[in-house]
Structure 1
Amino acid sequence: MTTAATTETSAITETAALQDRLDFYWSGRAAEYHAHQVSGARAAIDRELWASVFATALDGCGREGSGALDILDVGTGSGYLASLLADAGHRVTGVDHSPGMVSAAQAAHPDLRVLIGDAHAPGILASSLDAVVNRYVLWTLPDPVAAARAWRTLLRPGGTVVAVDATWFPHGVDPAMKVPSADGEDAFVRTYDPATLGALPLGTAASMEDFAEVFLVAGFTDVIVKPLPQVAELDLRFGVAPGHESRPHFVVTARCP
């Protein structure tokens, strides 16, 4: 007979195996991922864009409504967003579950505090932050609502979550997709196969409202989602990352009660 405890243990094991699979892919992808973000004709313009997006979203956040904020960048990857916010004068910690990404971030940004951490349980002191931010993280989380609830406990009252994402794969991953990676150009397709996407609640989301709903369910208030058409404009002007296609981007902001 299957007991509740056995079922729970099995679910935990499956989630851990899934996370290991994702971590392996992103570790192999780290070098190429970082290089694409910081090189090429689009790099400086992209940085200005994201600086503006996050500055606008964080405006009025914090105990005094201005000045340096205590920020956690969840799923920091190679530290792109954490570095951008640190350059803006904020006190930033980055966490990522992929050892390869954390190593890349530490090498690229030696002055940043970047740690290995789980988006669903970042290991940060409760009620110690003004903001939790992320970019391109929600879609790849096995339990985005649990993660959002965890982020809420880290925020001071009135603190803000800012999450940028896109509806990446509403029809699944193109099996012909090729992305540069240490594990081969087909590593993304092999990692994000139908079984993996099926285990990610937002992996095949078709609407930005699906992402906003995560924060409503997690107990946030003032949940607002706004499209970012300027990303598509840059995609048209400069092209997209290898193997990718232009997808509708948006930013979700939500307030901790």
Structure 2
Amino acid sequence: MNDWPYPFLFAHRGGGRLAPENTLAGMMKAAEYGYGAVEFDVKLTADNVCVLLHDDTLERTTDGHGPMASKRFAQLQDIDAGRWKGEEFAGEPIPAFSDVGLYCVRNQLLANVEIKPCPGREVDTGKLVARDAALFWQGEAVPPLLSSFSYEALQAAVTAAPWLPVGWLIDHWHEDWQARLQTLEAVSLHCNHKLLTAARVDAVREAGYHVLAYTVNDVARARELKGWGVSGVFTDELGVMRDEGVLGEG
């Protein structure tokens, strides 16, 4: 198995429960709490700018409306992506991937970049996110880890930037996981933690791949997974994991 340069804990969507997801404020909160790695979602605007957003539509996490795929980057500039989380975050914008990538590099935050294509934009999103990630982290000792539920997007990312590590995200178990990972030349399998058993973790590790688990908000579960050999978990509970010592365990 390849050496693993990433820490055990990743701050999910930046700030977990402590800040609006997929914002610079979230990345800053992760750094404030001592996290060495963040996870966030990237998709494309209508004019092919990479921005951070989880959903295909704007309503849940911003005061905007409609599908992201229909919005040009300029149309997002006046949208508030922070107020829903609290008045202290009012005015927080939907960030460009370039801004977050620069922040991570400057602050030595490692990153898991989840490629989150809007429907029908899988190839373009995989290609452009990988291209930008390679540019933003050029010359850095540890590159970002790219992941996606979209196998098609990951294939496009690998074609665009084959030197960047990739992991396949799954929310149900695939019996052909090993063949899929081999085709991608992936380094990791990212699973809903509820799918994992000690035997499954052993099998993936014995095949030469790392296992990552989402979204783990219970301290005992995080430690159990680590004991099984899981290489990393994504958590919303930044404070709890820090205060209970999981953050300091590697």
Quickly name the TM-score band, shorter chain normalised: 0.3 to 0.5
Give the TM-score normalised by the residue count of structure 1: 0.33
- Considering fraction of residues, name the structure with more helix: 1
Give the TM-score normalised by the residue count of structure 2: 0.33
